[in-house]
Structures are given as structure tokens and as C-alpha cells.
């Protein structure tokens, strides 16, 4: 069915409400906008369904949410469980609560028990709740760190991790089989209190989750000795305010100041361009407060509180923003070193990173005799490796992270967790402060020991159908006509993850990974959640200045290559 026919079905169909038709009537003469809204259905990427809020098959709205949920209900029923159940959570984005209630209605009307959080909660607590309630699946309504016009729909399976192959493909097939909205009950919502198999969850689940988070503390005594450590925290208008502050307070941190302008949930995210702690601009208000208070640490979490960004005091009045890789290096080292000092580091332990993270943590882990498992981008693949290596094997999971500010310790959550990470980062700052060191000092010391690793990411943004085609063309050109060198350094190996077979079995993925003769590397992949081509570059050299200069040369040459006529 072509996009124009789909548009007309939505415009004239009896199952679509007046507000939807009013929105579509406003674009009736805008052919390009109609095409963008209807040329495809939203698809599962690294973060499930995600799109701009609005009417259309290529948008997130109550109809696409209901369709996805009906597909999930059909899939669950086919699994043959006697009493299937699903946990549902949502963040602070526009329509998140409404979409969560829509999903609940569709599941309940399909005969599936629903555990619905009473109010917004962080994504990692949803993962925990799926495991805690022994549910079949979980749904969280969020678009993570995307701009305010976005929302999304993540699906989790019974292990608490996001769905991966083959469940993801089988689920999408069920969703694609739904052609007629008339078969979806509660399409426009229905009174949830009329269902006996609806259970609201809240404080009791919170307490169970927070107790588990606090149990991960490695050196709780240092918190008591540094209870007045000055921490500035911003939830960036999202769901992190209550859980992060509560955990820090219950652990003993007595001087946590929240950024007042960003404290309350607000799906418009009025104080930031978009609520991504990867962006330095998102720290502007927190940085002002930190300078005023002479804070030791600044933490910023994204709307669904699964990512955390960090700024640390470098010296009085000056702060340094850690990259996702640098925070991962520091946390990984802190965890392994603390456990070794206590005699608790098991040699069957392993850490997990992704193929596009820096390689420094792998070096550190090797020095402690710990294995590193590298998987595809997306924390669902890290969760999959925890399941395969620990649940179904005999190994002990220590720590997992990805360069995009996602971190996890413990085995009770199967997604990145900014509540856990915020606690461990705060404790780590207190630990080293007692030794007279800032985290920046520790990072430099690690560089001196393991080499000066530097990484950078840049993106090429291409929107709409034409943009998706352009990104595909760039990938195909680089796949079929790869460069022989970059910045004068010969390319030694090329890994195409559509066909590459490494030390662990990975699904096929549209990722190209290039290893240079000097050990530097770069990788490229289309984003699964945004209209972007992401390019990652990593270098290693003997000094901070040398690594920065090399990184700049590679970045400049890569941008020139990708902007040339023969590629675009």
C-alpha cells in the first residue's frame, strides 16, 4: 500500500478520532509531509519503537502504540503461558502517561494481567519490576534523550532485558500482521478500573529496587566519612529526581542540591535544547550552581533516568566533563580495584562493552585477569550477554557500559541504570577525595599506566525518507569502496558486521569497523533511534596532547571523506 492510500485511510477511517483527522487535514496539500508520515511503519531499532509524536504510521501516537501492544498481546498469548503478565512504566514526555494507559487497556482487554506504575518511574526500575514480578514482558513509554517532539515504546522480555532476536523479529511480525484497527479493543482508551487483572504498583516496588541498588555500594564507610560531599544533580525535567536523590540520601550523602529550574517533570524540557546528558549545554544551569556552591560533583540524568552524564571538579572553580568512555573507564577500574582489595574479585568475572566503546577498559580488565566481552551497540545486547554468560553459564557479571553514557552493575536490572551509576559515581568521588584526588587526577593516572586513549563521536543528520536513503547510500559506498588509509595511517583490517564472525556470536548489524595500522580505529552505523549516521573514532598515543592531535587529524579527514562527492 502506498503512502497516499494510507493517508486517505487515516483521514476517512471510522477508527480515527476527530483530533487526528483535524491534524491530517492541516497537511492535506503538503505531499512531502504526507509521505514522511506514511511511507513506512515505525520499526524496532536499538531502542524499540521511537518517533516524532503525531498522526501517521511513521509517527508515535495512540494508534501506533495500540497496534504495537496488540501485536505484543498476540505474541504473548501464542507462547501459551497460563497467567501472562506485563509491567508498564512511563517517563515525563508528552503523552507518556496516556500511551501507557492505552497499552494497559489493550493488554487487559486481551486477557493479560497488567502491573501499571502509579506515576512516572525510571526505565531501569521497569526492568527490575519485570524480574521481580516474574512477568512475561514489560513496556516503558519513553524516547530517552531525544528532543521533546519525540516519544517511544520499549518492550522488555521476561529476563528484564529489551527484546532481541528472535523475539524482536517474531514480535514485529505479529505487529505487521495487524492490518485492521477494528480488531483492537480499547483503541481509544477504556476505563481501566473495570478490569480485575489490573494491579497498580509503586512504593513497595520502589523500596525493593532501592534496597538492591544500595547493596551495590563497595565502600559504604567512605560515604560516612564524606557525608558532606557537595553534589549538584539535575534530572533534566525527567523521572530521575525522586529515585536518585532518595538513594543518595539513604546511603548517607547529606549535601545533594538539585537544580531548581530542572527539578519538576516537564515533557517540553524548557531549559535545554534537548535533554541529553551527552551534550555539554545540558549542564549549563547545573554548572552555574556547582560553581556557586564549589561542588565536588555534577550529575545529570536523561528523562527516563537510564543515562547519566558527569562533570567533576578539576580545581577550584573549574570543572571537567567526562565522556561516556572516561566514566566507564573510571567505574570499571573502581569496581575491579575495590573488589580485589577486599579479596572478592572472582576470576570467572567478566565485563561487557560494545564494539564502538573505547578499548582502555579492556586493557584495565586484562591487568586484573578479567575477561571483556564486546557486543553490538544497544544495551539490549549487553543484557543478552549477561543472560548467556551468567544466567545460562557459570560466569560472574561485574560491569557493563556503552559510550553513550549507559552503565550497569549488579544482576537485578538488565538495562543501563543511572540510579545505580549515580550512587557508584558519588561513592567513587568520595573514595578518591579521601585520598586527596579528584576523578580527573585518577583519570590522568590511569592514562599514564594504560596509555592515552581518546575517543570522539560525530553524526551526519539526514531526515525523512530521502535522508534514510542517503544514509544507506553512504554505508553502501563505504562497504563497497572502503578507504585504504585515514590521515595517512594505513587501514589494517575492516570488519563488516553484516558478515563478520568474531569471538562471540552476534546478530548481523549494519556496522562497519576499521582498524588502523597504529591501533587507532573508526566505526560507522546508522542510528536505531534518530535520523543519523554515527561515526566513532578512537586513538591511542603516548601523551594527552599527542592523542588529542591524532584524534583531530582523523576526525578532520573522516569528515572530509564523508562529505566528498564520491561518497554522498
pLDDT at 516: 96
309 vs 226: CA distance, rounded Å: 22
CATH number at residue 340: 3.40.120.10
Whole-angstrom distance, CA of residue 271 vs CA of residue 421: 24
The pTM is what? Answer: 0.95
What residues act catalytically? 144
The verdict on residue 15 lying in a domain is no
> What pLDDT was estimated at residue 290?
96
Cell numbers of 466, please? 530521502
Whose CA is closest to 149, among 47, 266, 268? 268
d(CA 467, CA 36): 11
| Rg of the chain (C-alpha set) | 24
Amino acid 504: pLDDT = 85
* Same domain for 288 and 221: yes
Q: Rounded to whole angstroms, how far apart are CA atoms 151 and 96?
A: 7
Q: For residue 237, which of 210, 274, 191 has the smallest C-alpha distance?
A: 274
Task: Check: CB of residue 50 under 8 Å from CB of residue 56.
Answer: no
Residue 30 falls within a domain, yes or no? no
Question: Residues 68, 140: one domain?
Answer: yes
Q: What is the pLDDT of residues 478-505, one digit of tens each?
A: 999 999 999 999 999 999 999 998 888 8
Domain that holds residue 302: 208-324
189 and 61 within one domain: yes
Answer yes or no: is 13 within a domain: no
Residue 222 domain-assigned (yes or no)? yes
Among 411, 429, 450, which residue terminates a domain? Answer: 450
Residues 282 and 376 in one domain: no
Same domain, 378 and 440: yes
Nearest to 218 by CA among 312, 345, 307: 345
**Which residues in the chain land under pLDDT 70?**
1, 44-47, 565-568
Same structural domain, 61 and 174: yes
Tell me how many domains the chain contains.
4
Nearest-angstrom CA–CA distance, 292 and 568: 47
Distance CA 550, CA 396 (A): 37
Report pLDDT digits (tens) over 135-151: 999 999 999 989 999 99
Cα gap 506→356, rounded to integer Å: 14
Of residues 525, 535, 532, 527, the one with CA closest to residue 500: 525
Amino acid at each position: 500500500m502506498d503512502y497516499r492510500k494510507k493517508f486517505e485511510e487515516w483521514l476517512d477511517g471510522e477508527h480515527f478520532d476527530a483530533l487526528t483527522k483535524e491534524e491530517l487535514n492541516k497537511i492535506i496539500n503538503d505531499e512531502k509531509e504526507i509521505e514522511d508520515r506514511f511511507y513506512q511503519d515505525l520499526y524496532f531499532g536499538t531502542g524499540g519503537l521511537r518517533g516524532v509524536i503525531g498522526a501517521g504510521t511513521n509517527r508515535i501516537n495512540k494508534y501506533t502504540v495500540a497496534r504495537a501492544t496488540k501485536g505484543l498481546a498476540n505474541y504473548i498469548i501464542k507462547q501459551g503461558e497460563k497467567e501472562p503478565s506485563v509491567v508498564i512504566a512511563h517517563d515525563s514526555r508528552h503523552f507518556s502517561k496516556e500511551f501507557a494507559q492505552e497499552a494497559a487497556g489493550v493488554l487487559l482487554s486481551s486477557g493479560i494481567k497488567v502491573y501499571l506504575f502509579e506515576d512516572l518511574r525510571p526505565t531501569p526500575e521497569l526492568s527490575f519490576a519485570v524480574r521481580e514480578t516474574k512477568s512475561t514482558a514489560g513496556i516503558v513509554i519513553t524516547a530517552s534523550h531525544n528532543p521533546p517532539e519525540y516519544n517511544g515504546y520499549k518492550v522488555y522480555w521476561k529476563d528484564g532485558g529489551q527484546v532481541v532476536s528472535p523475539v524482536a523479529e517474531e514480535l514485529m511480525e505479529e505487529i505487521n500482521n495487524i492490518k485492521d484497527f477494528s480488531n483492537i479493543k480499547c483503541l481509544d482508551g477504556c476505563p481501566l478500573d473495570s478490569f480485575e487483572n489490573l494491579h497498580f504498583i509503586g512504593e513497595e516496588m520502589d523500596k525493593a529496587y532501592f534496597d538492591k541498588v544500595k547493596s551495590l555500594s563497595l565502600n559504604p564507610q567512605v560515604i560516612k566519612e564524606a557525608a558532606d560531599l557537595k553534589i549538584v544533580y539535575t534530572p533534566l525535567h525527567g523521572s530521575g529526581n525522586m529515585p536518585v536523590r532518595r538513594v543518595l540520601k539513604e546511603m548517607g550523602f547529606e549535601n545533594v542540591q538539585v537544580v531548581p529550574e530542572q527539578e519538576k517533570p516537564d515533557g517540553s524540557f524548557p531549559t535545554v535544547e534537548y535533554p541529553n546528558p551527552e551534550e555539554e549545554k545540558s549542564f549549563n544551569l547545573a554548572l552555574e550552581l556547582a560553581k556557586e556552591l564549589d561542588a565536588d560533583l555534577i550529575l545529570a540524568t536523561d528523562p527516563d533516568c537510564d543515562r547519566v552524564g558527569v562533570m567533576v571538579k578539576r580545581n577550584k572553580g573549574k570543572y571537567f566533563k567526562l565522556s561516556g568512555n572516561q566514566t566507564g573507564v573510571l567505574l570499571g577500574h573502581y569496581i575491579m580495584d575495590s573488589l580485589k582489595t577486599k579479596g572478592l574479585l572472582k576470576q570467572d568475572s567478566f565485563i561487557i562493552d560494545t564494539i564502538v566503546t573505547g578499548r582502555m577498559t579492556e586493557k584495565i580488565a586484562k591487568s586484573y585477569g578479567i575477561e571483556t566481552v564486546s557486543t553490538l551497540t544497544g544495551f539490549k545486547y549487553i543484557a543478552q550477554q549477561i543472560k548467556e554468560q551468567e544466567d545460562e553459564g557459570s560466569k560472574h557479571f561485574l560491569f557493563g557500559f556503552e559510550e553513550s553514557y549507559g552503565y550497569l552493575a549488579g544482576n537485578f536490572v538488565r538495562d543501563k541504570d543511572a540510579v545505580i551509576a549515580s550512587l557508584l559515581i558519588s561513592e567513587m568521588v568520595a573514595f578518591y577525595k579521601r585520598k586527596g584526588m579528584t576523578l580527573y587526577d585518577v583519570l590522568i593516572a590511569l592514562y599514564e599506566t594504560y596509555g592515552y586513549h581518546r575517543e570522539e563521536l560525530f553524526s551526519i543528520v539526514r531526515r525523512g525518507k530521502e535522508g534514510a536513503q542517503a544514509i544507506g547510500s553512504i554505508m553502501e559506498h563505504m562497504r563497497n569502496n572502503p578507504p585504504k588509509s585515514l590521515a595517512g595511517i594505513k587501514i589494517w583490517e575492516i570488519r563488516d558486521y553484516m558478515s563478520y564472525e568474531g569471538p562471540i556470536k552476534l546478530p548481523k548489524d549494519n556496522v562497519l569497523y576499521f582498524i588502523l595500522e597504529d591501533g587507532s580505529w573508526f566505526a560507522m552505523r546508522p542510528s536505531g533511534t534518530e535520523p543519523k549516521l554515527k561515526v566513532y573514532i578512537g586513538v591511542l598515543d603516548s601523551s594527552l596532547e599527542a592523542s588529542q592531535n591524532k584524534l583531530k587529524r582523523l576526525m578532520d579527514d573522516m569528515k572530509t571523506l564523508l562529505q566528498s562527492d564520491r561518497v554522498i
